[in-house]
Amino acid sequence: MFQACWSLGKEDFAGIESLRRASGTAVDAMDGCAAHVFVSGEDGQPIAAGRMYPAGDALRIDKLVVCAKHASLPYEELTLRMLLYRARELPQTMIEVEPGPGVESLLPRFGFAPDKNDPRLMRCARENITWFSQCGD
């Protein structure tokens, strides 16, 4: 079993920080103003994490990481879906995702396309997000 929770800034950040360090993903200044999703096992062991924060006129989602032990399971997609679901309630009209290998192929199915100005990002208008099911496809 697992649990997922939200935090703001560096509140309850220890699990996210240890997961990032283990996966070689940097902790940076944006962590202090981002909203984070943290997925852990019942025992509190880190499984996955991701964050979102305002970036100009868009909402940026990045730092999606999964511990190596759970890399074959869809925890990165779960984390992305949680972030996108919350993004629907925020004022930014565009959502940008800096994709990792675990979600890059899924992003077009959600409606994301490569950003013409920044090849590291994929973008989608908030109202154009497509919610698909892995079960019915």
Name the residue ranges covered by the structural domains of the chain. Answer: 2-128
pLDDT at 134 over 90: no
Domain 2-128: CATH architecture, name and number where available: 3-Layer(aba) Sandwich (3.40)
- Average model confidence (pLDDT) for the chain? 93
Residue 40: count of CB within 10 angstroms of its CB: 19
Q: Quick one: pLDDT at residue 37?
A: 97
Q: CA 94, 95, 97, 102: dihedral to nearest 10 degrees?
A: -130
User: What are the two backbone dihedrals, phi and then psi, of residue 106, each rounded to the nearest 5 degrees?
Assistant: -80, -25
pLDDT at 127 over 80: yes
pLDDT at 135 over 90: no
pLDDT at 71 over 80: yes
